[in-house]
Amino acid sequence: MKKITLTALLATIVIASSAQDSTSKKSPAKTDKKESRREKVNQLIRQAEEGVLIYSRQSIFGLQFRTNGYGMFYELGRMKSNRKTNIYRIDITEIKHQKEEKTQLGGNGFVFFGNPFIYGKINNFYQVTLGFGQQYILGQKGNKNGVAVSAVYNGGLAIGLLRPYYLEVQDPSTGSNRTIKYSEADKDLFLGPTIVGGGGLGKGWGEMKMKPGAFAKAALRFDYGRFNEAVSGIEVGLSAEFYGDKIQIMANQPKDKQYFVQGYIALIFGRRK
């Protein structure tokens, strides 16, 4: 019995010693990995505290005020390096002609009748642009209260949508009112003194015509959001669009355009992950 007990005791000591040696051999590798992960997290924290934008994905919404209209956009960005982000963007905008002027008829200068209208307007012109590009960080924030400055550029497909503009007019032949759009047959009524008012916002949506084209855009983005997780700032830029056909917005204009160049400023907001 004593021999068996002594043998078992020796075996237990050998196994424990081997396990301890094995653990001691594995510990440095595990410790190194933990230290590496900890250092990486600490580095990201330090960069965030110093105002460096660190993220893998960002979603941005924007409201645009353009020199010839207005619009909005959504942008999805995926960061490729500390300075470069690939962006996928959709803009929905409306271009207004420089000759547009809203009018409302008045009987005696005080009493108005009929809906407001734009004399000579033939079509509302909307644009949907689908683009790919990059955001390149020119300057980091420096601290939480700083401003990050980025260059943004993208280009791609432009889809122009023409919606007929309707007016309510009085038809002299019948003496009754009717709602019409511009045509050669009703040209005199549409542009004559028979106008009563605008035809309303609900007209022409089912009659839109599509005009394909292309666009390019470049801008500077100023992000003054306090935290990396939130996007808050302004974007100032230029965009250019070219269409395969001439776009007719107003009647009796000497030259309809195929290309449009405009400046814009946008308020932007969003989130980063």
List, for residues 212-251, the tens digit of each pLDDT value.
999 999 999 999 877 778 899 999 999 999 999 999 999 9
Question: What's this model's pTM, rounded to 2 decimal places?
Answer: 0.77
Which fold would CATH assign to domain 55-272? Answer: Porin (2.40.160)
Q: How far is CA 132 from CA 24, 87, 153, 215, 231, in A?
A: 53, 6, 8, 11, 20
Model confidence over 31-83: pLDDT tens digits?
777 776 666 555 555 555 545 677 889 999 999 999 999 999 999 999 999 89
Domain extents in the chain: 1-49, 55-272
Distance CA 72, CA 249 (A): 21
DSSP annotation of 113 reads -
Q: Which residues pair with 239 in a beta bridge?
A: 217, 262
Residue type, 161: L
Question: Which residues are CB-neighbours of 113 under 8 A, at least 6 positions away?
Answer: 105, 106, 107, 196, 197
Residue 183 has pLDDT above 90, yes or no: yes
